[in-house]
Structure 1
């Protein structure tokens, strides 16, 4: 799928790395709002989160991941939660853009949005996160429910 045509998605891409950490470019859209930030993380942190997504939501009602510093240089968080008992899953995403802290608080870019995803998309995303963290290169993308291919038959 071409990213420009997607309605809702979350993409994590490693854009820099060294021996201790890597930098993630986080891109998200819910079809109406769109945002990007860049934050630092470690393999261990991302792998630990990926493990919480295995069989989600069977064993967890919610799962949460964050990296960076809220109201600091840059921040990213995502919280997966059940919307109902028939498999609808919400994903709340918070982004804060890199603005040096000596600037006014009003100047810092912040975005909070929700996308709706299906369990099979979470399974694919979990596997991509594992691969991303271990290889420290590439990207992982989570497609929103509104990206399903709809047949005209």
Structure 2
């Protein structure tokens, strides 16, 4: 199994944009449906399109998170002078129910990624942020 992150849109109303995120580093994987908004996804896409600017560049992104909502986070930083990047990814699937046990699953994994793949993923996220629901997927695959 190859390393990848896949983001797609699945639902929205006036204030929320729900995405599905699947991630795997080949050994560990997770999937969650997370609430965010189109502006947050567009901002992440713009950030990734130009990341990294130099070998000391790093960033951290976290979708909306509360103790009872699913979320994902990415901490990215360069690992060498060629700009190869490590993504430290967390995907948490959290659902609360009234009369049954809550679901609370979380996966953490690292994923090595090349700069051009990050740029392409950023552009795909920007398209996801403006396109109709279910029409676009943003896919980041490990090329290392």
TM-score for the superposition, normalised by structure 2: 0.86
Distance 1:92 1:18 in 2: 30
Answer yes or no: is 1:142 the counterpart of 2:140: yes
| Higher helix content, 1 or 2 | 1
1:98 and 2:94 are equivalent in the alignment: yes
State how far apart, in whole Å, the 2-side matches of 1:32 and 1:49 are. 26
User: Does residue 27 in structure 1 map to residue 18 in structure 2?
Assistant: no
Higher strand share: 2
Q: Which runs of 5+ in 1 are unaligned?
A: 1-5, 147-153
CA distance in 1, matches of 2:74, 2:17: 18
Q: Which runs of 4+ in 1 moved over 4 A?
A: 101-105
Residue in 2 that maps onto 1:113 = 109
Aligned length: 140
Task: State the SS of the aligned residue for 2:63.
Answer: strand
The 5 Å alignment of 1:45-64 reads 45-58=40-53, 61-64=57-60
Deviation at 1:43, TM superposition (A): 1.2
Q: CA RMSD in A?
A: 2.1
How far residue 140 of structure 1 moved from its aligned partner, in angstroms, is: 0.3
Contact (CA 8 Å) 1:53, 1:63: kept in 2 or not? no
CA shift for structure 1 position 104: 7.4
8 Å CA contact 1:72, 1:101 repeated in 2:
no
**Other-structure match for 1:77:** 73
Counterpart CA distance in 2 for 1:80 and 1:101 is 34
